Amino acid sequence: MLTDTHAHLYYPDILDSLPEILQRAEEAGIGRVIVPAVNLETSLKILDLSKEYEQIYCALGLHPCDVSKSNPNEINEIEKLLSHKKVVAVGETGLDYYWDTSNIEQQKDLFRKQIRIASKLKLPVIVHTRDSTDDAITLMKEEYEQYPVRAHFHCFSGTLAQLSECLSIPDSHISFCGNITYKKSLLDEVISAAPIDRLLSETDSPFLPPMPYRGKKNEPSFMIKTLEKISNVKGIPETELMNVVSKNAEKFFALQ
Ligand code: NI
């Protein structure tokens, strides 16, 4: 059973058709969807969704693009929600230097905080990076000795050197999104080099739909197209890849 490890299914226009979206996912062999939060409000919403839909699991945390808007107590409130049985990760957290570089210290501070919470609770952490991969890796390595944690670098689009740095963190995993299917994608070499035992599957719905769905709202069932591309680039049968990433997700997120 496949898992879409990253789909933001809480937007109002998506909620309207969520039963159909989950049905299409199921038909495509995707039995679980991890929905990552970006703040307290979405954390609460996702918890509710996970109670309503068996397929939905939660990652709760504060996104780097939301740290400026957050109140100082927000992360503590989110921390209290992490003991729910369908919470499988902390996140998404990380660093984003694309949208805002005026608050880098605050972003780093909250990233560290979430790594430490995840380490304490023995949950993995979902890491977002944009123009910030080197800093995110450095920070994770600094934290690792005292606060070891399993890191999922989602939507990986770094270089070969960054890939090997990410993978040097014990038990870290990476995943690719639909943008690897775009003509201008320069990620084939990185996909080739990524070991399948460190690979997870995701969509980042509703963003980055793979071809031929570009221009549409992405949804978990489209994940098959991204996996198709990975299996082509790596020259391994699709069924084998699906098998491996399914098991990786179950182990990494300790899914039942
Ligand atoms: Ni995301």
Q: How far is the CA of 161 from the centre of ligand 1 (A)?
A: 23
Residues 6+ apart with CB under 8 A from 193: 160, 163, 164
Tell how far the Cα of 61 is from the centroid of ligand 1, in angstroms.
11
CA of 1 to the centre of ligand 1 (A): 22
Could you tell me the distance, in angstroms and rounded to a whole number, from the CA of residue 133 to the centre of ligand 1?
15
Whether residue 72 contacts residue 36, with contact meaning beta carbons closer than 8 Å, is answered with: no
Distance of CA 214 to the CA centre of its chain: 20
Domains in the chain: ranges and CATH: 2-252 (3.20.20.140)
* CA–CA dist 256, 250 (Å, integer): 7
| Integer angstrom CA distances of residue 234 from 101, 189, 197, 208 | 36, 9, 13, 21
Cα-to-centroid distance, 127 and ligand 1 (Å): 9
Q: What count of Cα atoms within 13 Å lies in the side-chain half-sphere of residue 254?
A: 12
Distance (angstroms) between ligand 1 centre and the Cα of 221 equals: 17
Reported as a pLDDT band with limits 50, 70 and 90, residue 100 is: confident
Query: Which tens digits make up the pLDDT trace of 210-253?
Result: 999 999 999 999 999 999 999 999 999 999 999 999 999 999 99
169-192: average pLDDT: 96
Centre of ligand 1 to C-alpha 218, Å, is 12
CA distance 116 to 48: 25
Residue 106 has pLDDT above 80, yes or no: yes
pTM of the predicted protein model: 0.97
